Structure formats: C-alpha cells, structure tokens
C-alpha cells in the first residue's frame, strides 16, 4: 500500500499523542512500586495506553520504512522530516 507524506505525519502525531498519554498516566499514578502500588484499574488503564502507544509507534516505523523504500530515500531522512513536520504543525500553546 502506498502512503503519502501527510499520512506519515498523521500516524506520527497519533503515536506522539499516545506517548503523551502514557507519560501523563505515569505522572498521575506515580511509580508502580511506590507504597500501596497501583490499583487494578490503574494498571489496566496504563497497560492499555502503553500498548496503544507501542502499536502506533511500530506502525509509524514500518510505514516510514515502506515509504522511504518506495521513494528511494534513506529511512532516517524520511523519519527526521516527518518529526519536523509534526513539530512545526502543532498549534502554539
């Protein structure tokens, strides 16, 4: 399946958002080994968020590799361009 550069940017943006969610949960819950630990629901929520991030990141990597191969360009160059496009397309806070 042929992908467009814009699709790569959207996939990277989704992976970044999923990663942010994982970091937010970790900050909110604290370390899983702290006194009292996480509740079962917290563990399930974190695990679900972590798996979503992992799966999205894996999809980004494979899609970038496929796109780079189709375009005859180095994968790392395409990956850098995608990350730059994501950074520059984010609304200012």
pLDDT in tens, 57-92: 999 999 999 999 999 999 999 999 999 999 998 655
**15: Cβ–Cβ under 8 A, 6 or more apart, which residues?**
53, 56, 57, 59, 60
Cα dihedral sign, 52-62-74-9: negative
- Specify the DSSP class assigned to residue 36: T
Q: Which residue has the tokens 């979503």?
A: 52
pLDDT tens string 30-39: 888 877 889 9
């Amino acid at each position: 399946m042929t992908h467009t550069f814009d699709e790569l940017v959207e996939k990277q943006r989704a992976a970044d958002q999923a990663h942010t969610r994982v970091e937010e949960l970790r900050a909110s819950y604290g370390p899983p080994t702290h006194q009292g630990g996480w509740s079962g629901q917290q563990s399930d929520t974190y695990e679900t968020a972590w798996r979503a991030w992992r799966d999205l990141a894996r999809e980004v990597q494979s899609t970038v590799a496929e796109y780079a191969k189709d375009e005859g360009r180095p994968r790392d160059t395409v990956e850098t361009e995608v990350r730059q496009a994501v950074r520059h397309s984010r609304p200012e806070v």
